[in-house]
Structure 1
Amino acid sequence: MSAMTDDRIEEAREDRLLRMGEPPRDLGEAWRKLLWILPWLIFLSSPVRDLAAGTHTPAATAAGWAGLAAFTGTYLALIFRNMGRPFPPRVLLCLVAVLGVLAVVLSLTLGGAWVGLFVYVAVVCGTAFPLRVAYWTIPLTTAVMLAVGRIVGAGDMWTMVLLVLLVGFAMSGVRQLVRTTVELRQARATVAQLAANEERLRLARDLHDLLGHSLSLITLKSELAGRMLPAHPDKAAQQVADIEQVSRQALVDVREAVTGYRRPRLTAELAGARVALTAAGVSPGLPAEPDLTGVPEESEAALAWALREAVTNVVRHSGARRCAVEVVRRQTLDGPMLELSVEDDGTGGPGNGPGNGLTGLQERLEKAGGMLEAGRAGRGFRLVARVPAAAPGHVGSPA
Structure 2
Amino acid sequence: MQHWYHIFPKNTGLSLYVWLIFCILPFYFIFRSSQLIEIVFGIVMIVLFFVSYRLSFLSKGKGGLVYICVGLEMVISMVMTLLFGYIYFSLFLAFFIGKIQSKAGFISLYVIHLVTTLAAISYGFVTQTDGFLTQLPFLLISLIGIILFPVNMFNRMKREKLEGELEIANKRISELMVLEERQRIARDLHDTLGQKLSLIGLKSELASKLLHTKPNASLEELTDIHHTARTALKEVRDLVSDMRGTSLAEEFIRVKQILKVANIDSHTEGVESFRQSDSMIENVLSMCLKEAVTNVVKHSQAKHCMISILESEEFIELKVQDDGIGLVQGVKHIGNGLKGMKERLEFVNGTLDISSSAEGTTLRIHIPNVIKQRNQEEPV
Q: Could you say whether these structures have the same fold, taking a TM-score greater than 0.5 normalized by the shorter chain as the test?
A: yes
Distance in 1 separating the partners of 2:190 and 2:255:
31
The match for 2:359 is: none
Q: Which residue of 1 aligns with 2:84?
A: 111
1:129 aligned residue: 101
Deviations along 1:275-309, one digit per CA (max 9) or x if unpaired, are xxxxxxxxxxxxxxxxxxxxxxx4xx643663476
* Partner Cα distance (1:237, 1:44) in 2: 95
What's the CA shift string for 1:42-95, capped at 9, x where partnerless? 4334312213x342422222222222122123223434x46xxx3542222222
How far residue 255 of structure 1 moved from its aligned partner, in angstroms, is 5.7
Q: Counterparts of 1:244 and 1:133 in 2: how far apart (Å)?
A: 76
Q: Output the CA distance in 1 between the equivalents of 2:168 and 2:207.
A: 57
Matched, 1:47 2:12: no
Map Cα deviations across residues 149-196 of structure 1 (whole Å, 9 max, x no partner): 112224434443222112222222221232133223312321321222
In structure 2, what is the equivalent of residue 234 of structure 1? 216
Contact 1:78–1:128 at 8 Å: present in 2 too? no
2:56 maps to what in 1? 78
1 CA distance for matches of 2:75 and 2:263? 52
Partner of 1:92: 66
Task: Report the counterpart of residue 322 of structure 1 in structure 2.
Answer: none
Relative contact order (alpha carbons < 8 A, sep ≥ 6): 1 or 2 greater? 1
Q: Secondary structure at the match of 1:128?
A: coil
In the aligned structure 2, how far is the partner of 1:209 from the partner of 1:147?
79
CA distance in 2, matches of 1:32, 1:311: 38
Is 1:209 equivalent to 2:191 in the alignment?
Answer: yes
Q: Which residue of 1 aligns with 2:257?
A: 310
The structure 1 residue matched to 2:203, chosen from 221, 225, 231, is 221
- Give the alignment's TM-score, normalised by structure 2: 0.57
Gaps of 5+ in 1: 1-23, 265-297, 319-348, 365-399
- Percentage identity across aligned positions? 24
User: Please, which moves more after superposition, 199-208 or 254-263?
Assistant: 254-263
Change (3 A) 1:87 1:138: closer
**Which among 116, 119, 123 is matched to residue 151 of structure 1?**
123
Q: How much does 1:129 deviate?
A: 3.4
Q: Residues of 2 paired with 1:32 and 1:210: CA distance?
A: 63
Tell me, yes or no, if the aligned pair for 1:127 and 1:172 is still in contact at 8 Å.
Answer: yes
Residues 126 and 151 (structure 1), Cα distance of their counterparts in 2 relative to 1, 3 Å cut: same
Question: Is the contact between residue 119 and residue 168 of structure 1 (CA under 8 Å) also seen in structure 2?
Answer: no
Matches within 5 A, 1:1-399: 24=1, 30=3, 39=17, 40-51=19-30, 53-79=31-57, 81=58, 86=60, 88-108=62-82, 110-113=83-86, 115-153=87-125, 154-155=132-133, 156=136, 157-251=139-233, 253-254=235-236, 257=239, 263-264=245-246, 298=247, 302-303=249-250, 306-307=253-254, 310=257, 314=261, 355-356=304-305, 360=307
Q: CA distance change for structure 1 residues 168 and 58 in 2, over 3 Å: closer, same or farther?
A: same
For 1:252 and 1:31, the matched residues in 2 are separated by 66
Change (3 A) 1:31 1:104: closer
1:190-228 per-residue CA deviation (whole Å, 9 max, x = no partner) reads 132122212211221222122112212212322432443
Relative to the length of structure 1, the TM-score reads 0.55
Q: Is the 8 A contact 2:193 2:232 kept in 1?
A: yes
- After superposition, the Cα gap between the structure-2 partners of 1:125 and 1:313, relative to the gap in structure 1 and judged at 3 Å, is farther
Query: 218-227 or 249-258: which moved more?
Result: 249-258
Provide, for residues 217-273 of structure 1, a one-character-per-residue CA deviation record: whole Å limited to 9, x for no partner: 212322432443343111112212322332344345446645765724xxxxxxxxx
Separation in 1, partners of 2:255, 2:48: 52
The CA RMSD over aligned residues, in Å, is 3.6
Indicate how the Cα distance of structure 1 residues 212 and 96 shifts in structure 2: closer, same or farther if over 3 A, else same.
same
Moved more, 244-253 or 138-147: 244-253
Question: Unaligned regions of 5+ residues in structure 2, if any?
Answer: 11-15, 126-131, 265-296, 311-380
Cα deviation, residue 147, structure 1: 0.1
